[in-house]
């Protein structure tokens, strides 16, 4: 799993934004927006890393190892789909293509 990234360290740097909110509710919305963005970035990054790992294993003809990583990859794709980070059909397509590629080995 991913522990930290430079993108996630800037949670306290909300003062550097160009348009600062004035009202209390707008300030809270900005904070929420920032944290949600970080969660989404983390989720995208884990999904992409797992897909890259599985593609690498497929290229090197390591079917057993690719099959071991497949449930984790499915989980990451499903979580991204659930949170509307990627669309439903995109998630289905990614899973389908991975499974198809693994079965060809």
State yes or no: pLDDT of 1 exceeds 50.
no
pLDDT at site 98: 95
Helical ranges in the chain per DSSP H: 24-59, 63-82, 88-104
User: Per-residue pLDDT averaged across 71-85, rounded?
Assistant: 94
Residues 45 and 86 sit within 8 Å (Cβ to Cβ): no
- Confidence (pLDDT) at 20: 87
Decide: 95 and 70 in contact? Cβ < 8 Å: no
Residues in the chain: 105
Average pLDDT, the chain: 87
pTM of the shown model: 0.73
Q: What is the pLDDT of residue 100?
A: 94
Domains in the chain, ordered, with CATH? 24-104 (1.20.58.110)
């Amino acid at each position: 799993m991913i522990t930290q990234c430079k993108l996630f360290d800037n949670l306290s740097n909300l003062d550097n934004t160009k348009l600062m909110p004035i009202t209390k509710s707008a300030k809270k919305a900005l904070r929420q927006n920032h944290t949600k963005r970080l969660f989404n970035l983390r989720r995208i990054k884990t999904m992409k890393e797992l897909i890259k790992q599985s593609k690498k294993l497929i290229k090197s003809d390591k079917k057993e190892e690719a099959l071991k990583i497949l449930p984790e990859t499915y989980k990451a794709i499903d979580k991204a789909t659930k949170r509307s980070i990627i669309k439903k059909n995109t998630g289905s397509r990614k899973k389908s293509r991975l499974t198809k590629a693994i079965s060809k080995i």
